[in-house]
Structure 1
Amino acid sequence: MNEPDLAAQVRRADPDRFLGAIFAPPQSRRWLFVLYAFNHELARAREVASQPPLALIRLQWWREVVEGADRAHPLAVELRAGLAQGIFSDAALTALIDAREAEAEPIPDRAAFLDYARGTAGGAGADCRHGARRDRVRRTRGAGGPRHRLWHCRHSPRRPRA
């Protein structure tokens, strides 16, 4: 998948992050697009699945990619390349997947919601800031602040109500 294709995918899925990424240093831009496209794929898991177990299956598929499974999906190939080059941390990507698992079922309480917020959009935002600075994407706790995380949670794709 080339950079213009990644950029187009992120532009459709998350225009705000796309605009932020185009101002990143050129050597970081491609990897930011990969991270944002990955985050979108994880967020889509609950949107396209008709039942919670099906969303968990989609998330498990991505977990297997992070753990080393070779898949023919263009984004999976890019993600594996970033992991192989040390651009992404498998622990950080796994943490994003773990946090998205909370979306499969209703979030039970405030504490669970805050954990979800820290792990999903807030985690991706922290990862991308570090990627833009150091050309490496890492998981950090507390970066971005709760307002940043909650704003992204409110603006992530919504599950259709039954």
Structure 2
Amino acid sequence: MGEDSALVVTLLRDLDGDRYAASLVLPAGQRAAIQSIFAFSAEVAAIRERVSEPAPGEIRLQWWVDAIEGKGHGAVASNPVAGALLETLQQYALPAGPLIRLLAARRFDLYHDAMPDIGQFEGYAGETVSVLYQYAAMILAGGPAEAAADAAGHLGVAQALAGHLRAFGYNAARGQLFLPLSIFTAHGVREADIHAGIASAGLTAALGQITELARDHAAKARTAIDKLDSDLKPAFASLALVDADLRMIHSVADAPFAAPRMPAPFGRLWAVIWWMLRHAR
């Protein structure tokens, strides 16, 4: 492994331990390429943690747009994640458009507008998460992978819902709401109540409904994955971690604003390996 490749893997491990764990069960020949896609996503998702206001975040997102569109300057070549990403796009003849849409969708992260409804959330999840698994499937297939579209779509939404359920209290304290506001409103919960950390029966019911939505998408992803050729299934090993998260979320449903329990990295890796042992056929 070259120095730049090692840096990409290290960044992925540090910023997105779950996708790093899932990448370890990928075929060795395609692993680095898929890790470059995952590392790009992790780097972009981390922008909101690194800026104190939207403007610097917008500049960083535009830097990535320019890099992908070939308008970047010398700094692009010195960025190991950008270099690995561009090499992957070229090597596998992957379309750049979905990455530009991912960057556009990530602008939402920089502001404090609430996610309006489930339709908007599913679109956001599709453009920021599902796309990663579609790319992974295309890399494993060596070309278009239309058969993987349903698996990628449902897994992305399930994982995004589970992730934002885990981070609900953290985001609420920051004045952000990534989960669909319309579901909370339907249960009599105001956005101001969420940001104030006010627990209620309505809040519990709303989070329960969202958890059920995540389970439904996970079940649909599982059905779609089972129909895929075995060569494509490693792209979707993250489903094991979604299932684990949904079990954990159910067990702490009575403390919606509590800090999420941090799962042990080895346990996450073992969940992925066990999933692959059961599906690699």
Normalized against structure 1, the TM-score is what?
A: 0.82
For the aligned residue pairs, the C-alpha RMSD in angstroms reads: 2.7
Structure 1 residues 107 and 126: CA distance shift in structure 2, 3 A? farther
Q: Is the 8 A contact 1:122 1:152 kept in 2?
A: no
Counterparts of residues 64-83 of structure 1 (less than 5 Å): 64-68=66-70, 69-70=72-73, 71=76, 72-83=78-89
Structure 1 residues 66 and 60: CA distance shift in structure 2, 3 A? same
CA shift at 1:144, angstroms?
A: 4.0
Distance 1:115 1:41 in 2: 21
Number of residue equivalences: 160
Percent identical pairs in the alignment equals: 24
Q: Higher relative contact order at CA 8 Å, sep ≥6: structure 1 or structure 2?
A: 1
Distance 2:11 2:130 in 1: 20
Could you give the per-residue CA deviations for residues 37-96 of structure 1, whole angstroms, max 9, x where no partner exists?
100111012111111122111111101010012422121122222233245321121121
Q: Is the 8 A contact 1:56 1:101 kept in 2?
A: yes
Q: Which amino acid aligns with 1:85?
A: Q
1:130 equivalent to 2:141? Answer no
Match of 1:20 in 2: 22
1:109 equivalent to 2:116? Answer yes
Larger Rg: 2
Match of 1:96 in 2: 102
Gaps of 5+ in 2: 176-281
Structure 1 residues 49 and 77: CA distance shift in structure 2, 3 A? same
Gaps of 5+ in 1: none
Q: Is the 8 A contact 2:7 2:80 kept in 1?
A: no
Distance 2:11 2:142 in 1: 21
Match of 1:161 in 2: 174
Could you give the per-residue CA deviations for residues 128-152 of structure 1, whole angstroms, max 9, x where no partner exists?
2332x31458897542413234224
